Amino acid sequence: MFADRAPFAAHLPDYRPRAAQAEMADCVATFLERSGDCVFEAGTGIGKSLAYLVPALSASSRTIVSTGTKTLQDQLYLKDVPIARAVTGSSAQVAVLKGRGNYLCRYRFERTFGELALAPQQRHELELLRAWHAATVTGDISEATGVPEQSPLWPRVTSTTDNCLGSKCPLVQDCFVFRARRQAFAADLIIVNHHLLLAELLLRQAGQGEILAAVDAVICDEAHQLPDVAALFFGVNLSSRQLLEFCHETLRLDEEQRPLIAEALRLVRELEQVALAAAGERSEHDAEAQHASSLRVARDLSGALMQVRDRLIQLEGRDEDTDLCLTRAGRLLVDLHTYRAADADWARWTEPAGQGVVLHATPLEPGDLFERVRPLLADRWLFTSATLAVGEDLDYFCKRLGIVDATCATWPSPFDYPRHALLYLPTLTHEPNDADYLTEALAAAVPLLRASRGRAFFLFTSHRALRFAAERLPALLPREYAVLVQGTQPKASLLEHFRALAQPILLGTMTFWEGVDVRGPALSLVIIDKLPFTAPEQPVLRARVNRLRAQGRDPFREIQMPEAVLTLKQGAGRLIRDAADQGVLMICDPRLVTRAYGRRFLAALPPMRRTTDRGEAEEFLRGL
């Protein structure tokens, strides 16, 4: 099927047979016929989506496809699945399922209409939603136009686990969430995202039912994101705002709780003060003392909430809101217990959030936990991405997810990098941690930005560097260049403007290092400010590093460098997205040449010609 252009030609006029795509599809077909795990790195341009969708739709097995983002979910369902279905002639049922916060809640939507204290802008957005609500079949809020992603209206018209009335909702028969779940339960191929996949595994582990029916196989695309998502789900992120909201909601339902709630509120406020002090401490000794105080207050708070829960148990069954509060009390107590019980295999820290704090506890290596729950869903798991290998070695990824005895394969990108791309390494005199480094990096970038007439991504490893460039770069360029800055408008709008403008330059941080696809001459230059080592003060990294050091091991070689290599591959992958694409990748960091480990990074990049000659890079760009 993949060796011949004919099956795909009617649906993809530019389709060309690729040996790697055919090989991968063969491997997926074999995988679907047996048990076990597979880990496949498929470089950009192989067409891995069709390489797993075609055999999945051709097989008799029921399969979950999990992606890293809702954007890719929509792309698979709306674009790739129809092609794979047409090519295979499959009549398999396909459904897409997202988390409940992605669907309009009819009950909360109707209640919001009755509220008088809405700002004019929210009232206008609500009217826009009224028209969409009357026409939508799915209730998926990504279909709604005119209401910004960050609008404060969305939390009012969508539901959470805490406020959903479930089967007791008067509109449950017309619920968009339940309708999507019913369709997914009956489907042969279900497209979810990693967050929903992990939530399903945790539900099954806790014996709290299931959202998805039993399946034969799970295919995880964008699998490089899974270790971090797994750590997030197996850990705790508990905010003081959640605790305060619970206290106030409980008091509204039961005035007799006032003395108990007053004590819980006092302890939440005390926890905020202690945790904020701990988060701001520079001295490790003082931070440890503050941290011990946080644990003490968290223990006392658990005791106070237990008394509130015991009172709610006496009222169980009185009404839906009381039962919801009882369920919330149980969840909060579990989270507080997890936070307090975290040991040396966990990272535990506090983070300011608005006027309050968030308590975090995250397992350092989620692999053991992930490996334990995977069989609850399926006995066949396939993990694939364009960036899983460090060099040609997939061990780092496998260890992070606890994967052993997997069938592994890598297929490099089929694109003609030697002819179509150039890697430019400018000779900078400052190191990345020098005060003048960014100034020198910007000066080195300007000639290439002029030669490419904009049409560039400038990717940064920190928000501080992004702000520095946003302030200074426009003054270094002709007025006709349009400098677009991450955060000034939604990501989708920035990309839309980038494609529409004549000489655009987009400045972005990690948000734009992956999952962004600009094809053709609209993007001819990608500049990376420095090697993307995670900041050493990042709590989880710091805890992982300290643990390896205590074991006499080398955290730089085992953790920091592999992570940075994979991230650099993601950023570099923004440049060439299609067989006809051409351009220059400029990496400012001199350590690629001056440090021995630079060879590991260079070996991980596509096989581009390399130069340190600015004139050669400018000439390449002008010739495009």
Q: What is the pLDDT of residues 475-501, one digit of tens each?
A: 999 999 999 999 888 788 889 999 999
Range of the structural domain that residue 251 is part of: 236-363
Where is the domain boundary, 324, 339, 363? 363
Tokens 């408008």 -> residue:
489
Q: Is the pLDDT of residue 140 over 80?
A: yes
Same domain, 53 and 73: yes
- The reported pLDDT for the residue numbered 127 is 87
Statement to judge: residues 463 and 498 lie in one domain: yes
CA distances to 4, 6, 57, 65, 419 from 11, rounded to whole Å, are 14, 10, 17, 22, 29
Least confident window among 188-192, 252-256, 433-437, 559-563: 252-256
Indicate if the pLDDT at residue 463 is higher than 90: yes
* Claim to verify: residue 460 and residue 324 sit in the same structural domain: no
> Using CB atoms within 10 A of its CB, is residue 238 exposed (0-12), middle (13-18) or buried (19+)?
buried
Q: Is the pLDDT score of 187 beyond 90?
A: yes
**How open is the CA angle 9-521-464, to the nearest 5 degrees?**
125
* Banded model confidence at residue 526, pLDDT cuts 50, 70, 90: very high
Quote the pLDDT of residue 480.
Answer: 92
Q: Measured in whole angstroms, how far is the alpha carbon of residue 215 from the centre of its chain? A: 24
322 and 436 fall within a common domain: no
The pLDDT assigned to 554 comes to 95
Residues 559 and 452 in one domain: yes
Taking the C-alpha atoms of residue 105 and residue 171, their distance in angstroms, rounded to an integer, is 9
Q: Is the pLDDT of residue 271 over 90?
A: no
- Residues 186 and 281 reside in one and the same domain: no
Tell me the pTM: 0.89
Q: Which segment of 148-157, 177-186, 282-291, 439-448 scores lowest on mean pLDDT?
A: 282-291
- Residue 111 confidence class, pLDDT cut points 50, 70, 90: confident
Each residue's pLDDT tens digit, 163-175: 888 888 889 999 9
Residue 199 belongs to domain with CATH number: 3.40.50.300
DSSP 73-112: HHHIIIIIHHHHHHHHT----EEE---GGGB--HHHHHHH
Question: With bands split at pLDDT 50, 70 and 90, how would you rate the model's confidence at 116?
Answer: low
* 149 falls within a domain: no
* CA distances from residue 319 to 114, 136, 254, 308, 327 in whole angstroms, order as listed: 22, 32, 12, 17, 13
Residue 508 pLDDT level (bands cut at 50, 70, 90): very high
Asked whether residue 377 is assigned to any structural domain, the reply reads yes
**pLDDT, the chain, mean:** 91
Alpha-helical segments (H) within 516-575: 539-550, 555, 561-572
Residues 530 and 423 in one domain: yes
DSSP-assigned letters across all residues of 264-321: HHHHHHHHHHHHHHHHH--SHHHHHHHHHHHHHHHHHHHHHHHHHHHHHHHHTTS-HH
Flag whether 146 is in a domain: no
pLDDT for 278 equals: 67
Q: Are residues 58 and 186 in the same domain?
A: yes
Domain identity same for 438 and 587: yes
Highest mean pLDDT among 142-151, 349-358, 605-614 belongs to: 605-614
Specify burial of residue 386 (Cβ count, 10 A radius: 0-12, 13-18, 19+). buried
* Mean pLDDT for the stretch of residues 527-555: 92
Q: Is the pLDDT of residue 281 over 70?
A: no
Note the pLDDT of residue 120.
Answer: 84
CA atoms of 250 and 309, how far apart (whole Å):
10
The predicted-structure confidence for 27-81, as pLDDT tens digits, reads as follows 999 999 988 899 999 999 999 999 999 999 999 889 999 999 888 898 999 999 9
State whether 602 and 469 are in the same domain. Answer: yes
Domain count, the chain: 3
Alpha-carbon gap, residue 500 to 506, rounded angstroms: 12
Q: Do 329 and 438 belong together in one domain?
A: no
**Which pLDDT value is given to residue 177?**
93
